[in-house]
Structure 1
Amino acid sequence: MTKNVVTCECAQVAIELDGKPFISTECHCNSCREAAIRLEQLPLARPMLERNAGTQFVLYRKDRIQFLRGQDLLEAFRLGPKAPTRRVISRCCNSPIFLEFQSGHWLSLYSSLWPEETRPKPQLRTMTGDRTDKVAFDDGLPAGTLQTWRFYANLLGAWIAMGFKSPKIRIGEEAERDKTTR
């Protein structure tokens, strides 16, 4: 299988990706937009929102991701204490790294981790019903007002391939504790 490495802006966080993503998406939900606006107040090295206010993600099964370094430099950001998702940034340079759904079997890596020339192109858009501008997209990319059937089919296929497992991704102090107990 092909291996690919993505890093934060300063390269202190590095992630090895095994194979190809199972899908690339552009999300237009309210929470992705709100998170991007709030996180962009930090001195981010990489942008989060596209010109059309979508957030692009490259989705990988958790069992196809390995942290090469910097897992202890990752920090969670949640929109609220009961939010089922955590967005993760690097403390070293505030690069957006991934979004993780509670109990999810995949990670939604921010596409800005890839150099623009090798960045996987989105295959579909989700949650376009949350958009307030209602400007039509002109690129022919499939778009659903909610998540599309193709999105769910890809998630299910990845979960089946993983044997219905959902590995835990430890970050920050959790990851540091894991290193010292080995």
Structure 2
Amino acid sequence: MSPTTCLACACGQFSLIVQGDPITSVECHCDSCRAAGARLQRLPCARPLLDSRGGTRFVLYRKDRIQFAAGADRLKEFRLSSGASTRRVLASCCNTPVFLEFKGGHWLSLYAGLWPDGTLPPLEMRTMTGDLPDASFLPGDVPNLKRQSGAFFARLLKAWIAMGFRSPRIAVSGEVQA
């Protein structure tokens, strides 16, 4: 059986279980993640979302390997604009960011803040560094990709094939204004 990990929001009223290994673990520097991060971390009781370099850490998992264990009714979505094709979902009990979802995507980008200290999967790459005015300050410990690489998309495709080309829908009711 694949290993499982239980993750929870800051106050513990929402939790989820992930099964198996993630697709990848990334730090995103796109304009959208930086703008959303700046807005979301100003919500009441919210923890910092952007790291010291302005990036947002995510761990990508197939949707069929994620199970909401408790508090799913507390999930609320946030969109940067009414027409945005991505949504960020928070646990409204404590404004903990839970995941980023691309419209029609077969995976969820889970926010790194869900992992207890010392358990976050290691960073594999930084993406969208081309959106930064100057990316020269980024360390060279992992690849710093201007966009997403072919290998990144190959991992997503492999996961989608393993899911039988399904893209399960995740119902969330309500919105967060930030």
TM-score interval (norm. to shorter): over 0.9
Match status 1:17 vs 2:22: no
User: What does 1:42-81 align with in structure 2 at a 5 Å threshold?
Assistant: 42-81=43-82
Residue 19 of structure 1 aligns to which amino acid in structure 2?
A: G
Structure 1 window deviating more from structure 2 (92-101 vs 126-135): it is 126-135
% identical equivalent positions: 51
Structure 2 unmatched ranges of 5 or more = none
Q: Does residue 134 of structure 1 match 2:135?
A: yes
Question: 5 Å matches for 1:11-160?
Answer: 11-160=12-161
Aligned to 1:176: none
Query: Residue 32 of structure 2 aligns to which amino acid in structure 1?
Result: S
Residue 163 (structure 1) aligns with? 164
Q: How many residue pairs get matched?
A: 173
How far residue 9 of structure 1 moved from its aligned partner, in angstroms, is: 0.3
Aligned residue for 2:76, secondary structure, equals strand
* AA of the residue aligned to 1:159: W
- Deviation, 1:40, is 1.4
C-alpha distance in 1 between matches for 2:66 and 2:74:
17
- TM-score, normalising length from structure 1? 0.91
Which residues of structure 1 form unaligned runs of 5+? Answer: 174-182
Q: Are the aligned partners of 2:41 and 2:47 in contact in 1 as well (CA < 8 Å)? A: no
Root-mean-square deviation (CA, aligned residues, Å) is 1.2
* Letter matched to residue 57 of structure 1: F
Which runs of structure 1 show a deviation greater than 4 angstroms over 4 or more consecutive aligned residues?
none
The answer to whether the 8 Å contact 1:15/1:65 transfers is yes
Task: Return the alpha-carbon distance in structure 2 between the equivalents of residues 154 and 48 of structure 1.
Answer: 25
Q: 1:133: Cα distance to partner?
A: 3.4
Query: TM-score scaled by structure 2?
Result: 0.93
Please give the alpha-carbon distance, in whole angstroms, between the structure 1 residues aligned to 2:44 and 2:117.
Answer: 20
Residue of structure 2 in register with 1:177 after alignment: none
Q: Supply the distance in 2 between the matched residues of 1:85 and 1:5 (Cα, whole angstroms).
A: 25
